[in-house]
Structure 1
Amino acid sequence: MMDSVILEKIAALGAWGWWIFGVALLGLEILAPGTLFLWFGVAAILVGVVDLVVDLSWQSALLLYAVLSLASFFLGRMLLRRGAKAEGGDPNLNRRGSRYVGREFVLAQPILQGVGRLSIDDTVWQITGPDLPSGAMVRVERLEGARLVVAAV
């Protein structure tokens, strides 16, 4: 009995019910990671618009919601994936030392017994390579852990 009263009140809302449902789903999007609820909320709002223009039965509105939910979900995933590919990004973002491979620098301190330090931008790196005096040009050959391996230029 209580269920039928609730369903009757929701059905009496018509398009407003779908809009309220859509806005509630968009509100859930703020709390949940990802973009899952966004697409279902958009679908509910679209059903509300269609229900305003065409008087839909609850069965046809529910079917339309299911179709629009799936369509908006897959379309949204496709758009987000395409946008992520277009942005590209830096593949060495979390491997700063990899950015220096192939670049040349001047030693401020000598390399003694195969070990030294090289100041690049705001970071002092541990380096390994042949013994060289300060002022020598070196090229970063590779990254081994947190050390840069250098060679004389």
Structure 2
Amino acid sequence: MEPQWLWLLAAVVLGIAELLVPGVFLIFLASAAALTGLATLMFGLPAAAQLLLFALLSVATVYAGRRWYVRNPLPSSDPLLNDRAARLRGETLVVVEAIENGRGRVRVGDSVWACRGPDCAIGSRVRVVGADGSCLKVTLAEPIAIEPPATGEHP
């Protein structure tokens, strides 16, 4: 089989693989293989030039595709779905390892996360105001006002 047909067949196989295992990566390699096949068909490139062209086109198509996806994010009903730290913003948590010199640990559900914020003792309640990677940024939570029981007279 001639090399240009092998490149075009590789493009089809990579395109089908993208459909079966969607990861939005193989499609760029498929387009690089298709372009390499077309260039080989038109110009009769030697094997070394084909491999070099495929490598260059692979880098170029992946780079172009990544830039396009970054500039055109898909709309989502829950944009923080895969960003657990950002989802915690506004939550009130309990300190399980005292925050000293700006660093400590807080309980998040059934796990413990590192945090940064004002010094406070174990058991203090803090509010998440942001995140830096997996380290939560916290501030002291405002105390909850508890009203004293009514001591009024009953009729």
Task: Compute the TM-score of the two structures, normalised by the length of structure 2.
Answer: 0.47
More helix by share: 1
Q: Give the greater-gyration-radius structure (CA).
A: 1
